[in-house]
Structure 1
Amino acid sequence: MVLGDVSCSGTESALREYFVKLEGGVDRCSGRLEVKFIHSWATVCDADFDWQDAQVVCRELDCGGPSALQKGSHFGRGKGSIWSKNFQCEGHESFLHECLTTDRPQKSCTHGVQLTCKGPDDLRLVNGSSPCSGTVEVYRWGQWGTVAQYNWDLNDAAVVCRQLGCGSAVVTPIRAHFGEGSGRVLLRDVSCNGSESALRDCGAVDFRHIDFPHKFDAGVICSDFVQLEGGVDRCSGRVEVKFNQSWATVCDADFDWQDAQVVCRELDCGGPSALHRGSHFGRGEGAIWSQHFQCEGDESFLHQCLTSDRLEQNCTHGSGMGLICTGPEEVRLVNGGSPCAGTLQFYHWGQWWPIHPGIQAFG
């Protein structure tokens, strides 16, 4: 097919004309969902949209997969018409217009779909025990490669976890903890402030022309089920758990000290120091978690705890559970005769290190 009479304003991101776009977000991969309707844009109602539809939209926009469906007017209200159809995608379609549609029942549409996609498929974690852990690999300059560990920290890891929809960053393993990567080492000295939506938005040194060994590859371990949101750091905030690929607030009536011990342990944040009720760290925006955790306190991960149906049915975003953990352990004594004697070690870059390598007072 040959195109004729091409007319661009100069601000378009691609020559093709899309049937779908995301408007009002922080980038082209997030925002309020709109579709082309009679040469103008129409808002898609949030009551008609599910995760399979979101997968197709993100794929069509070359934005990876969906990471969140927000309720309300998170990205603002549309100004045009309301789309009159209900999409019924199976999730494997390449374009939204390929999905079956049905007439939407006549009812008022209060809000449009608020969608955030992970972004272009230019980041992955490999060789980990889950999709949310492993060696960091990035796609740059037409190839996949790794990131050198130099200046790699939790701010960088937090962006990786956010971009992949994997919750909070827990540990930043170094020295090819998950095995040496393939390809070339493409980046080093990544410098994120922790608030970026994607690793591509962070500064970094182009390292592709340097023959650098993979034994210094950086890694990430994310917590993909629980996170603390709205606190002063990653070890404090409102308790949220992953539910239907988005985050749900945990009710303060359902949470005790044993549950808190597991959350702090999973996030590598030491132990709990305070429980705050009544949405101390702000109100959540997603769903309310429908289960009651029954942890014994010694579990490594919150999803290992038994759960039961929550008896209290009137939990709102005003009664979200807040938690403050002590923070990660930074020093310890090992191989001594008591908890107060031994070789001094410090925790850095996801590993324990002796203060003076090679000099040990105890076996």
Structure 2
Amino acid sequence: MVLLFFMILAIDTGLGFLDVPHSLRLVGSRRSCEGRVELWKDGQWGTVCDDHWTNEVAAMVCRELQCGPLMSTPAGHIYLPKAQRGQHVWNLKCNGTEETLAECEEDFIECSLDHSEDVGVNCKEETLNFNEVQLADGPSHCIGRVEMKYTGEWLTVCNEGWTLQDAKVLCRELGCGRPILTKGSCNKDQQGTGNIWSGQMQCQGSEASLNDCPFVPMENNCSHKDDIWVHCEERFALRLVDGKRNCSGRLEVLHKGIWGSVCNDGWGEKEDHVVCQELKCGKAVFQKSRARKSFGHGKGHIWLDDVRCKGKETSLEQCKHRFWGYHDCTHREDVSVICSEK
């Protein structure tokens, strides 16, 4: 929470995100909070020797790099690329009162120059703690500009480091399908206003929420031209319309945010059964052709044709059908379904 407070303060004051120190870095890992420790001192980058290295010093490095708590202290030589021969090795002796590694005194006893004694750290990465996320100004809740809500304010998100893995997590969190498009250069009418969150996500793609993803604090050099725009598939949905109850009527399915009807070519009892089960409306009731036409004709899109179910599917989405929107039907052939409701 303290980190997020300063994050918002940095945005509000226009000073950018919390500045990561430029005198300290972790090298050789894909994770920003893990790697071989290297320190900039006296005009050069050098590794750090393990002679006086303790968990307390490693924890200080994690704090200085604005990472989470220390997890482990692996040997520095395991990280690639390995330190170069001739690169300086600092032998540092800390007394525990320092706030940065550069403040530690240097022990002039020489360490191994083959870098076999280099130290590394593995810190836990910080995660987000936003109240809510949304896709704004799009045609549906599954399409739009990425925004995160914190302390009552919606912040747009900078495109720096945004990946398809981040979009997968966001689409999942919003209850949408897979991401179809993610872009970080919004058109003028798609750009947001107000403050911009400029941290870099590091989602793996399997997380349930963006709050579960590690992130890296970054300097805020973004404008609203850099706002992220994401297009997720709509979650599959169906409904029965124009009936007296929710469990009978003309069948419609949701695709690309638009409701459309289903053609009756090849439609039968197995397909009726799957629809009633998915809607939790009991069993399918046999219909005479006249009853099927009692719910009127739809308008607009006919999304599905030649639907073929085995009867054991839990969703109509799992049944075989033509490509979405491809059909040879009119609305006189719209499917209707009557379920028992129990």
TM-score category of the 2 structures, normalised to the smaller one? 0.3 to 0.5
Bigger Rg, structure 1 or 2: 2
Give 1 or 2: higher strand fraction: 1
Give 1 or 2: higher helix fraction: 2
Structure number with higher relative contact order (C-alpha < 8 Å, ≥ 6 residues apart): 2
Normalised to the residue count of structure 2, the TM-score between the two structures is: 0.34
